[in-house]
Amino acid sequence: MLPLSLTIYFIYWFMSGAESLLQPYVPEQYYYPGMGIVMACAIILLSGLLVNVFFVKWIVATANRQIEKIPLVKSVFGAIRDTLTVFKIGEKEQSKTVVSVEIKPDMHLIGFVTADQVATTLFKDEDKIGVYIPLSYQIGGYTLYVKRAQVTKLDVGAEEAMRIALTGGAKADDVTR
């Protein structure tokens, strides 16, 4: 019941918030119920389209570089940016790889291949690979550099694997469907 209740409440909160933000700016004779929601969706869509324009990308990159120069802010900003990067798994083909890392015989962790190049740079003479291991029930995780022989590719989608890892396997029955 709780997930359904929270979802309904979030939708209600979004809709009422969008309506209340627009209503003071539109004369009553032109306002109709639902206009705020339509405008909010349109603004979100236009923002997404604008971010892909070169000039806007340059502005965003410049703003990011400036933010990264502020001592305390750069730590918080970097942590948030890195966390969001984890959830943009589909951006690089390499990071789509869902793997099982053998910690010791008969003990495995689910992870995502992150960066071969970093492992090669850090461990020049060893055949290691970087694997991000998410922690269950929280946003965070570890990047392990393990021998390639310890890694086995799994035939599971990235979203399913992330859900299994983040819920501690509580929703593992979804994989069998």
Q: What angle do CA 170, 176, 177 make, to 5 degrees?
A: 110
Burial 136-167 (b: 16+ CB within 10 A, else e): eeeeebeebebeeebbeebebeeebbbbbbbe
pLDDT of residue 90: 47
Average pLDDT over residues 82-108: 69
Q: Of how many residues is the chain composed?
A: 177
Instruction: Please tell me the pTM assigned to this model.
Output: 0.47
State yes or no: pLDDT of 174 exceeds 70.
no
The percent of residues in the chain predicted with pLDDT above 90, rounded, is 0
Helix (H) or strand (E) holding 77: helix 71-87
Q: How far apart are CA 44 and CA 50, in angstroms?
A: 10
Q: Please tell me the class of the 91-174 domain.
A: mainly beta
CB distance 110 to 165 below 8 Å: yes
Residue 154 identity: L
Share of the chain above pLDDT 70, in %: 84
pLDDT in tens, 39-86: 888 888 888 888 777 777 888 889 888 888 888 888 888 877 776 665
Instruction: DSSP for 101-143, please give it.
Output: EEEETTEEEEEEE--HHHHHHHSTTS-EEEEEEEPTTSS-EEE
pLDDT score at 95: 47
Q: How confident is the model at residue 161 (pLDDT cuts 50, 70, 90)?
A: confident
Q: What does the mean pLDDT of the chain come to?
A: 78
**Locus of tokens 């291991």:** 133
Where along the chain do its domains lie? Answer: 2-86, 91-174
Contacts of 80 (CB under 8 A, 6+ apart): none
Spatial CB neighbours of 175, under 8 Å, sequence gap ≥ 6: 156, 160, 164
Residue 96 has pLDDT above 80, yes or no: no
Give the residue-averaged pLDDT of 154-162.
81
In eight-state DSSP terms, residue 126 is S
Residue 145 has pLDDT above 60, yes or no: yes
Tens digits of per-residue pLDDT, 16-33? 888 888 778 888 888 888
Q: Is the pLDDT assigned to residue 94 strictly greater than 50?
A: no
Query: Phi, psi at residue 48, to the nearest 5°?
Result: -65, -40
Higher pLDDT, 26 or 115: 26
